[in-house]
Amino acid sequence: MALLPIVEVPDPRLRQISAPVETVDDDIRALIRDMFETMYHAPGIGLAAIQVGVPKRVLVMDLQEPAEEGGEPVKEPRVFINPEIVTYSDDDVPYTEGCLSVPDQYAEVERPDRIRARWLDEHGKQHEEELDGLLAVCLQHEMDHLEGILFIDHLSRLKREMVLKKLAKMRKERGLRAA
């Protein structure tokens, strides 16, 4: 397993549309293992292959939600290959989102609170399931990456510019401190 570098805005690779996975093989499974290691190390709860520079329709997620209030996070890694959303609920919910490719920046995004999705797992087995809450939001966020869309694209132009200015300022401050 290996830690992979995370691609950050404004890298143009993040705007690429990812290609479908033709065969779920050992190379894809190795990519998935590396993506999980990278996501956990970051730390994050979801990662699309394009975020590590691989334009394939592969996502990994682990919400790491505690089994009980205040308890230790429980790992429940999930793999989504060639995911597609079959149906969306009519109700949108606001959720504060962040992204490993837009580090340390957060904004409220509205998305459908329930979806029905179809995907392959790391063994090539097809799944179809109704998802809701954070899992549905996270899957939609990660699937946006497959289409070259970032969560900041869902914001107004003004809010998007504010997030990007804060990110630039943060990078500049880190650069000055490192010198």
Positions marked catalytic: 142
CB 102 within 8 A of CB 150: yes
Size of the chain in residues: 179
User: In 3-state terms, what secondary structure has residue 143?
Assistant: helix
Helix (H/G/I), strand (E/B), else coil: 103: strand
| Lateral strand order in the sheet of 78-88 | 46-48, 58-61, 78-88, 114-120, 126-132
Q: In angstroms, rounded to a whole number, what is the distance separating the alpha carbons of residues 59 and 36? A: 9
| Angle 170-173-177 from CA coordinates, rounded to 5° | 140
In the numeric block, which tokens belong to residue 65?
Answer: 């939600």
> C-alpha distances in angstroms, 67 versus 63, 95, 163?
11, 21, 33
**Are the beta carbons of 154 and 143 closer than 8 angstroms?**
no
